[in-house]
Structures are given as C-alpha cells and as structure tokens.
Chains A and B, each alone.
Chain A
Amino acid sequence: MIGEILRRLAFLPVTLFAVATLVFLALRALPGSTVDLLASQFSTAGLREQLIAQLGLDRSLWDQYLIYLGELMRLDLGRSFITGKDVSVMVWETLPVTIELAVASLLVMLITGLGMGLAAAARPGSFLDGTLRFIAMALFALPWFWFGILLILVFSLWLGWFPAFGRLPSSITYEPITNFVLIDAILQGRPELIGPWLTHLVLPSLTVGLTTAGVLMRLARSGIIETSKLDFVRTARMKGVPGRRIYLRHILRNAALGILTVIGLQFGAMLGGSVIAEVVFGYPGIGRMMVDAVLTRDYAVAQGAALVLAVLYVFVNLATDLAYRWADPRLRREGVR
C-alpha cells in the first residue's frame, strides 16, 4: 500500500511537467495574434515591435519554453498580456469561486444521483425503476449550457426565486481574505454574506450537478443490484443477519467502492461543467477566465488557468485512487497494482 502511494507520488512530477509542456505548446503554436489584437489599438509598426519585445514573443520558442518553466518553478504564472495583471493573483481571485461551485455541484450530484440510484435499485424492473432510468438518460443528454438557460428562464425570469447572474449582488461590499465566501463570512463575522451567496449558487450548481447525476445514478443502481446477487450476501442471509444490516453493511459498503471511483472520474466532468456554467451564469470563476483568455488569445492567462485546472484534476484523481485502495481491504492487503 505504502509502496503504491510512493509510486503514484513519484509519477506526479512527470505528469505535472507533461501537463505544463502540453499547455505551453498548445497555446504557443500560433504566436503573434495577441500582439495583433493589442496593436490594433495603436497603429504604428514601431509600437507593435515594442510590444512583441516587451511580451518576450520575439525570442525563440525554446527560449520562451525555458523562461516559462523557470517561472513555473517559482510559481510565477506571468502577467496578463492585455491587462498586465499578475496571473497568480487572478487565479487566487477566481479559483476559490470555481471550487465553491464544484463542491456545491458535487453535493447536488451525490444527493440526486445516489437518491435516484438507491430508489431504482430497491425494485429493479418496476415502473419507478424504469422512470428513474429514463430521467437519468435524459439528464445526461441535456446540453449543459441550455439546461442552465432554461433554469434562468423558469426560476429567475418567471418565478423570480433565484438570481441569474454573478456570485454576489453588487450592493454588497465583500473584501476577501481567503476568497471562500463561507470561510470569510465566519472570519469576518459577517453572516449576512451567506444568504445572497447561496441563492447565487443554486442555479449554477443545479446545472452542473443534475446534468452529471445521470451517470452516477446508473452506476449506483447497477452496483447495488450486482452486489446483492453475490455469494457473500447470500451467505449473510443464510446466517440470519437482519435484512437492514445486510443492506447497510454488506451491500452498500461494497457498492460504495465503485461509486467512489465514479465520483473521482466525474470530478473532471464537473470542472468542465463549471466552465460552461460560469459562462452561462456570468459566474466569476477560473473557467470563465480561461474561456475569455482563449477568445482574446491572452496566452499567459489561458496558460495559467489551464495549468491550475489540470493540476487540480490530477490531484483529485490521485486522491480518489488512493481512497479507493484504502477503502478496499483486498487491495490494501495484497498491494495489487
């Protein structure tokens, strides 16, 4: 077990290095366009040259790469080509927003996905089972962005229950310490922040959580049904273990292993979904920052955002994998790869 953890951790730097290189190559494959965008505001050719030199785009690709890696070592993500703002600061401002959204979405996904899965697995083949499975399929097939817009239409425009735009109303002054609203509200003793923050979070997290819940529902359902057919469950029944105990200690506990893996894999979908939801709801997270940067070819910002998102994803997957090993005594003992 410990050997396996060490092996995974040893591979981590390789993955991170490769991720950094891929991000660099992807965004430098077509250089110069940011300058065109910037230079279109000024007209002289001299200014253009000056800009290129200032941004370091006149050096060779290899030199740019070495500079980029050197800066990464010092956790320096560079400056925005357009606003000149420090990208690390921009990440600090936007990443907590996305994490808040991802955690809220995860909760929505877990509650609806597991709830539907457990309900459907209780009576396989029943009408309820069929209906829930159809809903799960439909949830998967909904275009995420479109579902978000429908939620805005119904719950914001027609019913007026939830706000459709942003993270906090502009009437509230918020001076971030950690930039996690919930933590800051406690640190600063400002409970009045929590209400508006939650109402703004409802529609985006429903968008991401519900559209990803379908996959979880199907896996939870089939996991429970398959597990309950296994020999050890029959043995427990024959031994006279009470049904409730069999369900909780034998079936659910074993099915939970498979579900844990799915949650880790779904986190990627969740980050992707957050990118979309942030654009739909004007939510000031890192995903939206990245899309904006890509559209304006602001390399440094797009690079920083992509890198941070990928690193986050790598760590979550590693954590899920290790949690899986820890949770499954069979893997813990044998140290199977």
Chain B
Amino acid sequence: MAEETRKAATMGPKEAGLSELLGKGLSAIPWAVAGLFVLAAVMAPVLAPHDPIDAAGAPMLGLFSERHILGTDGFGRDQLSRLLYGLRPMLFVSLGAVALAMLVGGVYGLVSGVAGGRVDWAMMRLVDILMSFPLILAAILVLAALGASLVNLTLAVAVSQLPIFARLARALASGEAARDYVMAARASGFTQAHIMIREVAPNILRPMLVQATSVVALAALTAAALSYLGLGVRPPSPDLGYMVREGQELIFIAPEHTIMPGLLIAIFALAVSFCGDQLADRDRAAVRP
C-alpha cells in the first residue's frame, strides 16, 4: 500500500505554482478563457452565422469572405459555424467524463478506504488491473465494445480516468479513517455507511474537486484524440477532433482547416490546466502553515 501513497506523493510534490508567475491580476485569465469556451459552446446556435452541416450551395474551400468570415471547408460548410458547434462535444465529453469518473471513482475509493482490510486490498487490486491498460487503450476498448457515439465517448474517457479518482479517494479516505473523529463516530455506534457519507466524504470532497479540475484538460485531449481516430461523434456532426482529421486531408491546399480546430483544443486545454494548477497551489498553501 505504501507504494500507492508514494506514487501519489511523487505525482504532486510541493512546488510553487505558476500562478505566482502570472501575478495576481492575470490569474483570472485562464478562468475567463475557459468560461468563454463554455459560453461560446452554449450560445453556438445564436452565434453561428450559418448551419454547421448544410453547405447551402456555398463554394467549397472558399476563402475568407464577408459572408464566411473563416471561409468554408471541403464540403462548402461555414468554418466558423462548425468551429462553434464543434466546441460542444469537446466540452460535453470532458466535463461529463470527469464528473462521472469523480463520482464513481470517488464512491469506490471511499468504500475501499473506509472499509480497510481485505475488502480494501481486493478493491485496489481491481484498480491495479484497470491500470494495466494505458489510458487511451482502455478508452479505445470501451468504444470498440459500445460503438462510436457522444455518450459512449464520454463513458470511455470516464473509464480511462476512473483509476485516478479511485486511488486518490482511497488514499484520502483511509487517511481520514484513522483520525480521531472517525474513531469517535465508530465508538458512538454509527454505521459504516453513516461514517462514509456523513463523516469522511465531506472531508475528502475538496481535494477531489481540485483533482477533477486538473484532469479536465487531459479528458479534453483524450476525447479529441479519440474523435480524431474516428471513434467519437459521427460525421457530419461537427467536432473539433474530427475536424483536425478532415483538415489533415486538405493540408496541401488549405492547412488552416487543420490548424484552427486544433488551436481551439490547445487553448482550452491550456486554460483549464492553469485553472487546475491554481486550485492545487491554493490547496497546498492552505495545508502548509
């Protein structure tokens, strides 16, 4: 067991954060950028100047024009509209998958950590087995079994992240379970379920949320990669990952079609990485006197 805690410890050593580098005033930028992405995705139907799927007779690979600000793609579809709508699957999958993984993995780790003993051992060996698949391989297998769709993509990314949350929740919960207040609760005759839900869970929620924020970027990148491989949203629905792939075929004549969607993914991932980093720093600062 010491091995897991050691791994967890090497994963997040106390390092002063990048937020201090950005300075106090700039620390709001990543949050604003991430918020802008969410807003743009939600408002896509209002913001998009054209239908993202129907080309409506526009010229193929049209250049930047007044009618099509970012031009048209290989099928004559408006690029700006497709980019806006393409944000939706990325946000849906990354946020949905992280929430799902945190919930399921959190409950699993909580039970394992509080139960302790053989139950804990068996439950953690199961996580070890899940971890014997490289992250993206696990996701590909899930998609191979379920078929490609938005919901299945979310499930696949969630499965690939489950072990992270299960291990963290277990490490936190077993730490809490050894504390006096849990002993007191045990001595007062409260049930295991009560101890898990009412005593331990509230105390591990905060670090779990911090962890969740810091893996959103990874989830978005994994989802985009799977879409790129053709395992995500079915065309012609717009999706940034798949748009990079469609654009790759046009790389000789119009490289901007592969550059733009990828750039959006990168900016989003960078922004949420900074957000996660800030939260982790603040948490560490709170723990350290």
Q: Which of A185-193, A233-241, A242-250, A306-314 lines the interface with chain B? A: A306-314
Indicate if B142 sits at the interface (CB-CB under 8 A): yes
Closest to B268 in A: A141
Q: For A313, what are the chain B residues with a Cβ–Cβ distance below 8 Å?
A: 132-134, 137
Given A140-B217, A143-B244, A149-B248, are A294 and B270 neighbors across the interface (CB < 8 Å)? no
A337→B2 contact, CB < 8 A: yes
Q: For A146, what are the chain B residues with a Cβ–Cβ distance below 8 Å?
A: 244, 258, 261-263, 265-266
Question: How extensive is the interface on chain A, given as a class?
Answer: 35 or more
A276→B133 contact, CB < 8 A: no
Given A144-B225, A294-B231, A309-B134, are A336 and B14 neighbors across the interface (CB < 8 Å)? no
Given A26-B144, A133-B18, A279-B229, are A142 and B266 neighbors across the interface (CB < 8 Å)? yes
Given A146-B266, A268-B135, are A290 and B18 neighbors across the interface (CB < 8 Å)? no
A152→B141 contact, CB < 8 A: no
Report A132-161 CB contacts with B as 1/0, cut-off 8 Å: 011001101111111001101100010000
Report B1-26 CB contacts with A as 1/0, cut-off 8 Å: 11100110010011110100100000
Indicate if B140 sits at the interface (CB-CB under 8 A): yes
A145→B13 contact, CB < 8 A: no
Among residues 176 to 204 in chain A, which have CB atoms less than 8 Å away from a CB atom of chain B?
Answer: none
Indicate if A32 sits at the interface (CB-CB under 8 A): no
Indicate if A18 sits at the interface (CB-CB under 8 A): yes
Report A198-223 CB contacts with B as 1/0, cut-off 8 Å: 00000000000000000000110111
Question: How many interface residues does B have (CB within 8 Å)?
Answer: 57
A279 to B221, CA, bound (A): 16
Given A22-B129, A143-B269, A336-B2, are A124 and B16 neighbors across the interface (CB < 8 Å)? yes
B221→A291 contact, CB < 8 A: no
A15 to B131, CA, bound (A): 10
B10→A314 contact, CB < 8 A: no
A145 to B10, CA, bound (A): 28
B13→A223 contact, CB < 8 A: yes
Indicate if B27 sits at the interface (CB-CB under 8 A): no
Report B67-100 CB contacts with A as 1/0, cut-off 8 Å: 0000000000000000000000000000000000
Indicate if A88 sits at the interface (CB-CB under 8 A): no
Among residues 286 to 315 in chain A, which have CB atoms less than 8 Å away from a CB atom of chain B?
Answer: 290-291, 294-295, 297, 302, 306, 309-310, 313-314
Report B244-257 CB contacts with A as 1/0, cut-off 8 Å: 11011001100100
A225 to B263, CA, bound (A): 33
Closest to A272 in B: B136
Q: For B228, what are the chain A residues with a Cβ–Cβ distance below 8 Å?
A: 143, 145, 276, 279
Indicate if A258 sits at the interface (CB-CB under 8 A): yes
Indicate if A69 sits at the interface (CB-CB under 8 A): no
Q: For B277, what are the chain A residues with a Cβ–Cβ distance below 8 Å?
A: 137
Shortest beta-carbon distance from B127 to chain A in Å:
11
B15→A221 contact, CB < 8 A: yes
Indicate if A51 sits at the interface (CB-CB under 8 A): no
Shortest beta-carbon distance from B22 to chain A in Å:
9
Q: A261 contacts which of B7, B229, B252, B265 (Cβ < 8 Å)?
A: B7
Given A146-B266, A157-B252, A294-B140, are A15 and B225 neighbors across the interface (CB < 8 Å)? no
B265→A143 contact, CB < 8 A: yes
Indicate if B197 sits at the interface (CB-CB under 8 A): no
Q: For B135, what are the chain A residues with a Cβ–Cβ distance below 8 Å?
A: 268-269, 272
Q: For B274, what are the chain A residues with a Cβ–Cβ distance below 8 Å?
A: 137
B145→A149 contact, CB < 8 A: no
Shortest beta-carbon distance from A304 to chain B in Å:
13
Shortest beta-carbon distance from A90 to chain B in Å:
17
Shortest beta-carbon distance from B160 to chain A in Å:
9
Chain B residues at the A interface, C-beta cutoff of 8 Å: 1-3, 6-7, 10, 13-16, 18, 21, 125, 128-129, 132-137, 140-147, 217, 221, 224-225, 228-231, 241, 244-245, 247-248, 251-252, 255, 258-259, 261-263, 265-266, 269-270, 273-274, 277
Q: Which 6 A-B pairs have the closest CB atoms?
A: A146-B262, A272-B136, A222-B15, A141-B269, A141-B270, A268-B134
Q: A137-B274, A143-B262, A276-B228 are in contact. List 16 more A-B contacts (CB 8 A).
A: A15-B129, A23-B141, A29-B146, A133-B18, A143-B228, A143-B266, A145-B241, A145-B245, A149-B258, A219-B10, A258-B13, A261-B6, A279-B229, A280-B248, A291-B231, A295-B230
9 A-B pairs within 8 Å (CB atoms) are namely A137-B277, A143-B262, A145-B224, A157-B251, A226-B14, A258-B10, A261-B7, A268-B135, A309-B137
Chain A residues at the B interface, C-beta cutoff of 8 Å: 11, 14-15, 18-19, 22-23, 25-27, 29-30, 124-125, 130, 133-134, 137-138, 140-146, 149-150, 152-153, 157, 218-219, 221-223, 225-226, 258, 261-262, 265, 268-269, 271-272, 275-276, 279-280, 290-291, 294-295, 297, 302, 306, 309-310, 313-314, 317, 321, 336-337
